[in-house]
């Protein structure tokens, strides 16, 4: 029995959600759909594998390290300086 069209994922959706799968941040149904696509699509599986290796490498190289205090202070200053403009006029 073939998979219904509404349950099919295109490659761009899978690649966009690959970190949800890597970080175990998706529900079981989404995980199964992503995994099923990866099992059938070599190019997405390759991209997933690359992302998985990058995530593992970063985890090994950055384990336990924290940003220097100066960097943290500069970031906090920039965050405070950021101005968010919201257009509340629906006709604009």
Whole-model pTM over 0.95 = no
The pLDDT profile of the chain, 92 residues, written as one tens digit per residue, is 444 444 567 888 888 888 888 888 889 998 998 888 999 999 889 888 888 888 888 888 777 667 788 888 888 888 887 765 556 666 75
Q: What is the DSSP string of 17-67?
A: THHHHHTT-S-HHHHHHHHHHHHH-HHHHHHHHHHHHHHHHHHHHSTT---
The domain segmentation of the chain, as residue ranges, is 5-81
């Amino acid at each position: 029995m073939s998979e219904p069209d509404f349950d099919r994922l295109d490659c761009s959706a899978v690649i966009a959600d690959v970190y949800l799968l890597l970080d175990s941040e998706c529900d079981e149904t989404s995980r199964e759909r992503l995994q099923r696509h990866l099992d059938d699509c070599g190019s997405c599986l390759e991209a997933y594998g690359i992302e998985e290796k990058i995530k593992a490498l970063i985890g090994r190289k950055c384990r336990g390290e924290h940003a220097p205090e100066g960097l943290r202070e500069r970031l906090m200053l920039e965050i405070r300086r950021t101005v968010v403009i919201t257009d509340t006029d629906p006709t604009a």
